[in-house]
Amino acid sequence: MSRHADARVARLVARFEALAPSDLPRLAELYADGARFKDPFHDVRGVDAIAGVFAHMFAALDAPRFVVRDIVVDGDQCFLTWDFLFRMKRFAQGEQCIHGGSHLKLAADGRIAEHRDYWDAAEELYEKLPGIGALMRWLKRRARS
């Protein structure tokens, strides 16, 4: 991702795109005290709880990484679109990709006060899983008919 003119956002994007398990003890550099993180599976507050979400991600998946595609900034808020690339440890599948977006509200010091991820768990994840994927695709076809 090319650097954004807003230095706060450019720093956050660079850190997310390079995020590794060794970075988790330093998440307080990215997230404000009492920050909230919400996605389709989690709704947590505090840096330690957010670190737990990322720790689980690294434990459950092989080679997870984010590639930020688009950045929109308006004052102390920004919206990022991204691709989340990974391989599932439990299934013999190739690299998977979830396309989603994040709405970030920044604290006065430039750290994240609120982080809300938006992505379609049914389409981007469940439909790709063995077994349940066939059921999800069938339900989708039924809903369209």
Which residue bears the tokens 């404000």? 32
Provide the residue range defining the domain that includes 28: 7-120
Q: Is residue 14 part of a domain?
A: yes
Q: Is residue 131 part of a domain?
A: no
For residue 123, the model assigns a pLDDT of 62
Q: Is residue 138 part of a domain?
A: no
For the record, the structure tokens of 144 come out as 């369209």
Which residue bears the tokens 């997310």? 16
For residue 49, the model assigns a pLDDT of 98
Q: Is residue 128 part of a domain?
A: no
Q: How many domains does the chain have?
A: 1
Average pLDDT, consecutive stretches of 10 residues, N- to C-terminus, the chain (145 residues): 78 97 97 97 97 96 96 97 90 82 97 95 61 62 74
Burial classification of residue 24, based on how many CB atoms lie within 10 Å of its CB (0-12 exposed, 13-18 middle, 19 or more buried) = middle
Q: Is residue 134 part of a domain?
A: no
Q: Is residue 52 part of a domain?
A: yes
- Annotate the chain with DSSP letters as a single string: -PPPSSHHHHHHHHHHHT--GGGGGGGGGTEEEEEEEE-SS-EEESHHHHHHHHHHHHHHEEEEEEEEEEEEEETTEEEEEEEEEEEESSS----EEEEEEEEEEE-TTSSEEEEEEE--HHHHTGGGSTTHHHHHHHHHHHHH-
Q: Is residue 132 part of a domain?
A: no
Strands 43-45 and 96-106: unpaired
**Torsion-angle region of residue 126: left (phi > 0), alpha (psi -120 to 50) or beta?**
alpha
How far apart are the C-alpha atoms of 51 and 64, rounded to whole Å? Answer: 15
Q: Is residue 145 part of a domain?
A: no
Number of Cβ within a 10 Å radius of residue 52: 15
For the record, the structure tokens of 76 come out as 């102390």
The CATH number that applies at residue 42 is 3.10.450.50
For residue 90, the model assigns a pLDDT of 73
